[in-house]
Every structure is written in structure tokens, then in C-alpha cells.
Structure 1
Amino acid sequence: MAYRPTARTEATRLAHRERLLEAARQLLAEGGYAAAGISAIADRADVATGSVYNHFASKQELLAAVFRHVAGHELGAVQEAVRARSGAVEQLRALVEAFAYRALRNPRTAWALLAEPVDPLVEQERLTYRRGYHALAESAVAEGIASGELPAQNARLSAAAVIGAVGEALLGPLSPVGGRTEPEPVVAGITTLCLRAVGAHGS
């Protein structure tokens, strides 16, 4: 007769899985992917190293799940900031500011999400969430064109350029080997650049 997990054993399994994910998130924030080895994750979660493979087929699968959770949380926060504003230009401003400020407040995690070399499985997740930011920016630009707030342009191309500019401009301030900078002037400069790039009046 095939084994069927009870509600209790399933709850225990999910709790162990969450402990592993939380341990990996902590290590990622402290030292990036290089710090998040299987042994280190197991030690932080206080479980046997071999038990990690009861929940994830590989380290790459575990890190992809961590990326999915952390990146999803960040994207959700930016979406919420955008929804709180009215008007296309203000929504685009909220997107850039929320993205940049949140990254600069958690530089090691942001570096891991944006730029640290990763396994193809994690890179696939990175591309998925990048498309989410592109879609947010494209929606704001398209709305701005329709309302007359922004001049006619290719909304998809402009959105990709804006998100690319934000990510590229943050690389120096976020780099683990760079010095820390005050976030306000960095965010202000990136925001002004992005708004001017799409033709926002008075930016």
C-alpha cells in the first residue's frame, strides 16, 4: 500500500522546507549566493545536510525558490507603490523611487537579485521578474501617451530602457566591493534621468 502523508507529517515537511528557505534568505542577505552553500544552509536551519535533498533536488533548485520568494516580495512592494499614485508620470516616478530605495536599503540582497553571477535556473527566475518590472513601466508609459502626459513613443522600448537604466545606475552603489553612498541623491538622479528620458514635462 502506497504511503500517504498525514496532515501532521505534511505540516512538518512544509515547516522544514520553510526553515531551509529562511536560512537561505538570511545567508543571501549576508553574503550573496557564494555564502548560501548547502552545508551553510543546513547549519543555519539546524537540520542535517542530507535532509535538504528531501525538499529540493539541488542547490540550484533551492536558490531558485529563494530568488522567487525574495524577488516576488520586492516586485509586489513596487507594484503597491505604483498603485498608490495617480497619473502616469507619478506612477513611473513611484516605480523608479521604490525600486531604487528598496535596493539601496538592502544592498547585498539587491546585488544578488540584480547582478551576481548565478546558475541558469536562477537566471531564468531573474528574467521572469525583470519582465514584471518592464510590464509595470510599459503600462505607465502607455497610459502617459494616451493621456498626453508623455509624447508619442514606443512604450515597450521606453519601459525596457527605463528599467535597464535603473539597474545599471544602481550597480556601482550596490557593489559589494564599492563604498556605500547616501541613497537620496542617487535615487533623485536616477529618477530625473528616467523621467526626462520618456519626455515627462518639468523633469
Structure 2
Amino acid sequence: MGSPRRTTVIAYRETNLIRSRRASTRAAILQAARQRIAAGGYQAAQMQIVAADAGVATGTIYRHFPSKAELFATVFQRVAGQEVDAVAAAAGGPDSAAIRLQRVAETFIQRALAAPRLAYALLAEPVDPLVEAERLVFRRTYAAILADLVDDGIRQAAFPPQSPDLSATALVGLLAETLVGPLSPQAADPPALPVNEFTQEIVALCLRAVSARSHP
């Protein structure tokens, strides 16, 4: 007869093993969904296809995510978090606010153009309200990073007095809207400008937006 202590240890190990398997399955589902979205948008990430890619039954997905919207929202959170981290890193450092803003804009644009279908899913693809709520958080987080940067520029006298929050919100809109056309899967024509020139044009717009003085 096993001792109570031995039985407890075995049960504990089994629980850890179950948790590890659940975490592994969840991670496989999220990775499969991410890859499908990156390749063809949310429409391409049908649950049966995601399940097959992850090597699980379709019903298994619903044991980890109550709905497709919950799955997509979780994927969105993870991908958006990576993008925010990249922009936050670009916004940091001892350089002037103008140089850091240039770096942020370049990072945002280059990462989007490197993964256009995924970027379009983050920025503009029609989505379930649950995912749209995550998109709003995503944009607000970007705006908060940019607001701090604009505020630094004002304190350094590099930018004229302005509302950092309002300017940051406008910058997020500028970056997102100028990319929607080139990123759209319906775009039939290539961008009018080469990538480097396209990027520098948008960077220049961002700098002018926060640097220009008001005219009477």
C-alpha cells in the first residue's frame, strides 16, 4: 500500500504533466492560428484548418478558447504585444526626440511591410467586436508611447507646444492609414514609390506633423 506522501507526490507530478500538455496544446493552437492569419487573414483561419495544423481535434480548440473570436483576440494580443515591444524599443535611448520619432516610424513601417498580411489583420481587416476591442487597445498603447516621445520633444524645445496626446493619436492614424492601401490584399497595383522612398515620405510627414509651427 502506497504511503499518503507517495500518493500525493505522484498526483502532483501527474497534475504538472497535464498542465504542461495543456500549455503545449494551447501554444500549438495559437501558433497555427497565427500562421494562418499571417498567410491569409482571419478568413483563412477556419477552426478545422487551425486544428489540423496544430495536430488536434476541432473540439480541442474549444476546450482552450470558448469561441473563434476568443482565439483570434488572443492571437491579436500576442502579435500586437511583439509589435508594441519593437516600437517601444525604437522610442527609447538618449537620442533627440526627432531621431527617436524617425526610428519609431521606420520600425512601424518596415515591420508592417515585411509581413503585410499580418499587419493588415492588425490594422484594418474587418473583425469580430472582441478583436476590434483589442485593436483599440493596440492603437492606444502606440499612442501612449508616441505621446511620451512628443512630450520629450516639447521639453527639449525640439517641437513646439502642443497636446502630446492629441498629436500622438494623429501620428498613429497617419502611420496606419498610409499603410492600409499598400498592405491591403485587394491592392492590385504596387506602391507608387520604392519602399525606401515610401518610408522616408511617411517619416517626413510624421516629423512635420509635430514640428511645424502654427500659422496665424
TM-score > 0.5 by shorter chain: yes
Instruction: Give the structure 2 partner of residue 27 of structure 1.
Output: 36
Query: In 2, are the aligned partners of 1:149 and 1:200 still within 8 Å (CA)?
Result: no
Q: Distance in 1 between matches of 2:94 and 2:205?
A: 20
Unmatched 5+ residue regions in structure 1? none
Unmatched 5+ residue regions in structure 2? 1-10
**Number of residue-to-residue matches in the alignment:** 199
Query: In 2, are the aligned partners of 1:88 and 1:149 still within 8 Å (CA)?
Result: yes
Three-state SS of the structure 1 residue aligned to 2:89 is: helix
Q: Tell me how far 1:155 sits from its aligned partner.
A: 1.2
**1:76-155, aligned counterparts within 5 Å?**
76-84=85-93, 86-155=95-164
Q: Distance in 1 between matches of 2:106 and 2:118?
A: 17
Q: Distance in 1 between matches of 2:153 and 2:92?
A: 15
Q: Distance in 2 between matches of 1:45 and 1:84?
A: 40
Identify the match of residue 7 of structure 1 among 8, 16, 22: 16
Instruction: Give the structure 1 partner of residue 198 of structure 2.
Output: 186
Most deviating of 84-93 and 97-106:
84-93
Amino acid at match of 2:169: A
**Could you say what the CA RMSD is over the residues aligned between the two structures, in angstroms?**
1.6
Most deviating of 178-187 and 8-17:
178-187
Q: Tell me how far 1:200 sits from its aligned partner.
A: 6.2
Query: Does residue 175 of the first structure (1) align with residue 187 of the second (2)?
Result: no
Percent sequence identity over matched residues? 46
Q: Tell me how far 1:84 sits from its aligned partner.
A: 4.0
Three-state SS of the structure 2 residue aligned to 1:117 is: coil
Structure 1 residues 162 and 67: CA distance shift in structure 2, 3 A: same
Identify the match of residue 156 of structure 1 among 150, 165, 180: 165
Q: Distance in 2 between matches of 1:84 and 1:56?
A: 39
TM-score (norm 2): 0.88
Q: Tell me how far 1:94 sits from its aligned partner.
A: 1.1
Structure 1 residues 34 and 197: CA distance shift in structure 2, 3 A: same
Three-state SS of the structure 2 residue aligned to 1:198 is: helix
Q: Tell me how far 1:180 sits from its aligned partner.
A: 3.9
Q: Distance in 1 between matches of 2:46 and 2:195?
A: 31
